[in-house]
Amino acid sequence: MHFDLDQRTASLSVGEFADFTPGPRDAPGGPTGLWRAQLGTHWHHQLRDHAAADHPGARFEVPVTGKIFHHGWLLTLTGRIDQILPAPAPAAAAAAPAAPPAVTLREIKTVTRPLPADESELRADYPAYFIQIAAYVELLRTAATVRGELHFVEIASGLAQTIALSPADENRFRAQLERVTEFLDHRHRARERLRHLRFRPPVPAPRPGQETTQAGLAAALAAHPVVFFEAPTGFGKTGALLHLALDRLRAGRFDRVLYLTGKATGQLQVMRTLHAMTAPPAADVAQSGQSASGPERPHPPPPAADAAQRPLSGRDLPVFDSQYPGGRRPAGPPPGAEAPQSKIENLQDRTPA
């Protein structure tokens, strides 16, 4: 399904419309494979030959496109109906009919269950098939008087059963319209909420090395669908990526963000950073373990009057470095050390080793 929330339009195939359901669902059961497809094609050809002989002027595999306006949404449905059979000619001696004869729209469906079967069972087992033929009838109703029918074929034996479209089936079609437009309304409301999404940068001011991160990520994603972002630990990757994602989410570039982490600790870090960026201002004061420079570093202890009483941190500890006598480098950054730098590249351009 493709939809435009601003224009309130959606386009989808008739089959997709008939099968549509919001949320996850079970995969269809039953055997599949090449043999099933070949048998289905065989029965379609057999029935096409019979229909051509019995109904001169019949048309097959006819493309159908139409528009349906419902609850403020304009839906464009496209499909290909198996058979369109012309209306039978009235007998010359017969009285004038009360209604003009109808064109028959026929969909052929191969099934593995034994036929014939009770119609209520077929409607319960294959509801999408009845919605599909009802949709074709609705799309072509303005062009002529039409009726619909489903022609079930037992795929192993070729036994067939025809069921005419009923008012109950047309009610299924209308209920499906409600389901699709309700989904679109939900997406529209969600998008409107995202337009008012409020968040703050992960840090009040960019840290050294972060000055061009946002612009670099945005430019890379605009040119490539997959981007690899590499930066040292503590650089602020989590905040940078969340900031970019929230900005694009608010702009309507997409409506969902999936953030994957390799460890549970990474999940906690993402949630803490996200909460710090989106929490109302009053909640910021209550944040614990967050520094003014960003959510990724623990809050430093208050300054002590005597440096000897101040708890040791990692910056106070000597660092092993082979360039110094005994392998011990004095505390603090090494001479000439530069700010950590990030690396952004197109993942598709990386040549495997």
Residue 332 is assigned to a structural domain of this protein: no
Question: Into how many domains does the chain fold?
Answer: 2
CB within 8 Å of 46: residues ≥ 6 apart: 158
Tell me, yes or no, whether 178 and 255 share the same domain.
no
Residue 331 is assigned to a structural domain of this protein: no
Residue 314 is assigned to a structural domain of this protein: no
Residue 208 is assigned to a structural domain of this protein: yes
Tell me, yes or no, whether 257 and 231 share the same domain.
yes
Tell me, yes or no, whether 205 and 265 share the same domain.
yes
The first and second tokens of residue 353, run together, are: 């080793």
Task: Evaluate if pTM is beyond 0.75.
Answer: no
Contact 132, 178 (CB under 8 A): no
Tell me, yes or no, whether 187 and 123 share the same domain.
yes
Tell me, yes or no, whether 26 and 129 share the same domain.
yes
Tell me, yes or no, whether 112 and 240 share the same domain.
no
Pairwise pLDDT comparison (240 vs 34), residue with the higher score = 240
Tell me, yes or no, whether 124 and 12 share the same domain.
yes
Could you report the per-residue pLDDT of 294-311, keeping only the tens digit for each? 444 444 444 444 434 444
Could you report the per-residue pLDDT of 213-238, keeping only the tens digit for each? 888 988 898 898 899 998 888 888 99
Residue 327 is assigned to a structural domain of this protein: no
Tell me, yes or no, whether 213 and 261 share the same domain.
yes
CB within 8 Å of 351: residues ≥ 6 apart: none
Residue 165 is assigned to a structural domain of this protein: yes
Can you give the residue range of the structural domain that contains 35? 2-89+100-193
Contact 243, 217 (CB under 8 A): no
